[in-house]
Chain A
């Protein structure tokens, strides 16, 4: 018998806490910032939001002299300033999906649920952390995009718009809010599907495939239905001008928030009910 038992000394722990929502939020923050995919996706999102308006403004300024009156009329300074939002939303959506599906694909979700077996605090914490981070990153990004593109256009004394002009500040912050909501919606899709590829494909389907498909419909149907799609409703948050067949920024934004709430609610119910 080799009973020369070298006793293992296991240090004791005197502090005895309990799980709280704030602690789970701190834990989710640690998880969020300790992954490379987070830094990459956020970096790409910020870069696109800033780079697109600059690129768009530079091209417009260079070609302005050769542009037709029609082309010139189609260019709007706020469209240029917010040109990055439509692209950045994809990076933010992918990260939103990954925040939860990454835990399922690696098995981390089991560790997470062992620490927080009630599960819902985890979902609230993920949504909270991601909403705050994406909003705080997008606000300066859209503002930099605005002022950078304006200063480039100012070089040619074209397409100037004041930040104080009606609807401009609302559109700028609306763009940041839109991207934040896209992230939350994507996170909910990830929680529902629990699969990265499926989550990203579903998001792309809802935001990039279904809207153009609506053009197949008779115009009157298209006009009646399209404005209620998540992407169309959400877009009103950062659209300066409202066309005849779209919702107002307020109603469009509220409807998009509604979609997010429903998606999160479904995710919450499934999260508690399903086996991990």
Chain B
């Protein structure tokens, strides 16, 4: 369980996290979604006591992170930034962490095997690929058999097999009743693993909802209609909340009404319909729609003034 209340963090003049409140529950995978620079990593650092909040409060399993007598048994964390000494072997890295809690060596071996680093455990971590580094980070996170797991962009740098493995791992952790909080900037990834979503942009909470809800909202009220009486139907449905577009003759894209509403209007006015299909916006589209105003770094679009680009 992670509870954040009005969490704020400033770095100098820059506000990284701006009054975020949420509760992350055990037993499900909660995705933490937001564009790059939206404050995900900062929020996680605040949860883990690495940074202290400017104001507000965050507790893990009922206490501030630093108040736990055995934090590795409470919370396992994988940070986005590298957090391993490059000159030390993976085995010794895990051993040093284990020793702070009196965790036996056998556990270190178990974790090395679990993440598939057996062959390279005695190699210096500086020689690891990004994917191997991620696996080592996950081994460290699970070392203390923690009740809560916080992972920042865990699929970064993993090959497809590794990504698949992480998804199963996260689901398994949640199924065992743990709290699982995973950040990503990729909606598609979250839709495959998460049950619940927390969305932030520019340090503010944008949404806190289940993935199903998100998908439903994302598909919104967009309906594709095929009808020989396109012009008539368009005039019938148009209103202040409704817009209609047409890509080819006889096909309408109606936004702002559900399929049921469109069908009823058509029936009441005896308009013949050949097709009436609710449209699924892709999750990526929905996510971009949701965070459109909150993207920190935007690529220069084609509409940008060429003179500005040259400057």
Contact = CB atoms under 8 A, between A and B. Distances in A.
Contact of A113 (B50, B70, B101, B168): B50
A173 to B, nearest CB: 32
Interface stretch (A16-24, A213-221, A222-230): A16-24
Given A13-B103, A27-B99, A108 B85 contact: yes
Interface string B82-97: 1111111100110111
A115 interface: yes
Given A10-B142, A30-B96, A34-B92, A114 B50 contact: yes
A18 B114 contact: no
B69 interface: yes
A15 B107 CA distance: 10
Interface string A153-192: 0000000000000000000000000000000000000000
Given A35-B88, A117-B68, A111 B99 contact: no
A28 B100 CA distance: 9
Contacts of B45: 275
- Greatest chain B CB density within 10 A among A10, A13, A15, A102 is at A13
A130 to B, nearest CB: 15
A36 B125 CA distance: 13
A19 B114 contact: no
Contacts of B103: 13, 15, 17
B72 interface: yes
A110 B142 CA distance: 16
A75 interface: no
A19 to B, nearest CB: 5
Contacts, number: 133
A111 B140 contact: yes
Nearest to B11: A275
Contacts of B144: 13
B79 interface: yes
A79 interface: no
B264 interface: no
B104 A15 contact: yes
Tier of interface size on chain B: 35 or more
A17 to B, nearest CB: 3
Interface string A3-20: 001111111110111111
A27 B98 CA distance: 8
Contacts of A111: 83-84, 93, 97, 140
Interface stretch (B169-177, B205-213, B233-241, B268-276): B169-177
A213 to B, nearest CB: 35
A60 B8 CA distance: 68
24 contacts: A5-B171, A10-B114, A15-B107, A17-B101, A17-B103, A18-B69, A19-B71, A23-B101, A24-B100, A27-B97, A30-B92, A34-B88, A34-B89, A35-B88, A106-B84, A106-B86, A107-B82, A107-B83, A107-B84, A110-B81, A111-B140, A115-B71, A115-B101, A117-B68
**What 6 pairs across the A-B complex have the smallest Cβ distances?**
A17-B102, A13-B145, A117-B66, A34-B92, A110-B83, A275-B51
Interface of B: 45, 48-52, 65-66, 68-73, 75, 77, 79, 81-89, 92-93, 95-97, 99-104, 107, 110, 114, 140, 142, 144-145, 165, 168-169, 171-173, 176
Interface of A: 5-13, 15-20, 23-24, 26-28, 30-31, 34-37, 102-103, 106-111, 113-118, 275-276
